[in-house]
Structure 1
Amino acid sequence: MLRFEPVPRKKNFAILGASNFSLVVIQTLLEKRQKVTVFDNDKQRLDLNLSDYDQIDKVILDATNKSALEKNAIKSFDGVVVGFGSTMETSLITVLNLLDLGVKNIISRARDERHRRILKAIGLVDNQIITPDAIAGNTVGSRLVYDIDVNIDIQSSSDDYFSTVVVVKNPSVFSRTLDELNLVNSKDFNIIQIRRAGKVFLPDENTILKEDDIITLFAASNIINDIVNKIQGTPPTSNETRTEKTPA
């Protein structure tokens, strides 16, 4: 059965601090057609980092000033992202201001574990705190340990399970059903969805794989590498790669 990807409701988000982390968040929100307002106390940084984004509002504002946040109706936004790059003090004061003003949906960047612990101590919970370096490190480590191709994005949901997106590239699985390929969902793995020609659907055991299908996969750490290689084809070893490049 075909299912179309839902279009997200248009919301209005505030980004505090025009950092590199904030730029990634901004780009994602704009791709999803959301309204974005960026606040920073440095006009030069706003102009430099956001020069390519004509569709967003830019406001010069000191987020450590609670009155300034209140005057700019910070509580009216659907979500507020605290994305300051380097100064922990600025981040913490800003979060305290937002909490004092009754802002509910706060997401804050944490520079490191110490920063994360302090953010929790002042009132945020785990799912409101993002530590980019920790996420990146976990992803790199997972790719190395589980031998996942470097071009595949893999995310850890726990110590035992991972999710990833894989493109069907292995000719041996083309035009075969998931049942034939022993890829029917089990306690160890689950094919969550398949995207084909711009449409998303939920597979069953009779679903036939086609070249360039995009599969969202959730699997146990001890088997994810085998499943990925089965779907995309086993990448050549370094020796095989060198042999192919050696003239006859």
Structure 2
Amino acid sequence: MKKQFAVIGLGRFGGSICRSLTNNDMDVLAIDSDEDRVNEFSSIATHAVIADATDESVLKSLGVRNFDHVIVAIGDNIQASILTTLILKELGVAHITVKAQNDYHEKVLRKIGADRIVHPERDMGQRIAHNIMSNNVLDYLELSDEHSIVELIASKKMHDRTLIELDVRANYGCNVMAIKRNDDIVVSPQATHTIREGDILIVIGADNDISRLEKHLLMD
């Protein structure tokens, strides 16, 4: 069975999630208090309704408790975001993801039990910063405040050298989880695996260690 999602708040972030879920053939209930936004998504989401998400009776009537995952993407109204999240927890929603405006907002959301908290602007800023620091960084995914996964394009410095020669783990404290070359991918590559310039390395490690690796092996 397809998972059912509800997206509360149809601004830039919530709208983007709504579109992506719908494009992946998921059932999506789109909720916003703004009539124009709801009208915009009426032809995109499975259902789109004008509603005040801070009203428990309204959320109950919409059957939100039965959804697999609810995304709270309310814009600048931190109070509404917190209250909506609290109501969703009390209703017993299985999984709740909430957009946080700042660190204080995140602390409150954690205390009331949000399952996942995202900082779209901050996270995107970090990804862009890593991408523009080096043309060899394809993508960057934050796992925690201190650890990340990054996709790196192997540089000339790494060409025709094995993993054991580079000794990424000992020298930089990072692990190469996989290597992609054209359409081929090697998961958990052996130490004797030879890297070619242009290979894509999926690396996991502490942010400081990844930064050292980028500086020494990727930047000229």
Q: State the TM-score bracket (shorter-chain normalisation).
A: 0.7 to 0.9
Partner letter of residue 173 of structure 1?
M
* 3-state secondary structure, aligned to 2:177: strand
Gapped regions of structure 2 (runs ≥ 5): none
Instruction: Please give the TM-score of this superposition, normalised by the length of structure 1.
Output: 0.69
CA contact (8 A) 1:142 1:154 kept: no
- Count of equivalent residues: 218
Gapped regions of structure 1 (runs ≥ 5): 1-8, 236-248
* 3-state secondary structure, aligned to 1:96: helix
Provide, for residues 138-165 of structure 1, a one-character-per-residue CA deviation record: whole Å limited to 9, x for no partner. x279759xx9427734445466544311
Provide, for residues 46-78 of structure 1, a one-character-per-residue CA deviation record: whole Å limited to 9, x for no partner. 334x48x73643222221222222222212211
Greater strand percent: which structure?
2
**After superposition, where does 1:33-72 map in structure 2 within 5 Å?**
33-48=25-40, 50=41, 54=44, 56-72=46-62
Deviation at 1:195, TM superposition (A): 3.2
Tell me which residue corresponds to 2:64.
74
Equivalent of 2:174 in 169, 189, 203:
189
* 3-state secondary structure, aligned to 1:179: helix
Equivalent of 1:100 in 74, 90, 104:
90
After superposition, the CA RMSD in angstroms is: 3.5
Instruction: Please give the TM-score of this superposition, normalised by the length of structure 2.
Output: 0.76
Q: Partners in 1 of 2:22 and 2:178 — Cα distance? A: 24
Q: Partners in 1 of 2:128 and 2:182 — Cα distance? A: 32
* 3-state secondary structure, aligned to 2:163: coil
Structure of greater Rg? 1
Q: Partners in 1 of 2:183 and 2:102 — Cα distance? A: 38
Deviation at 1:197, TM superposition (A): 3.6
Q: Partners in 1 of 2:128 and 2:150 — Cα distance? A: 14
**After superposition, where does 1:92-171 map in structure 2 within 5 Å?**
92-121=82-111, 123-125=112-114, 127-136=115-124, 139=126, 143=130, 148-149=133-134, 152=137, 153-157=139-143, 161-168=147-154, 170-171=155-156
Task: Report sequence identity in percent.
Answer: 26
Tell me which residue corresponds to 1:225.
211
Greater helix percent: which structure?
2
Deviation at 1:31, TM superposition (A): 6.0
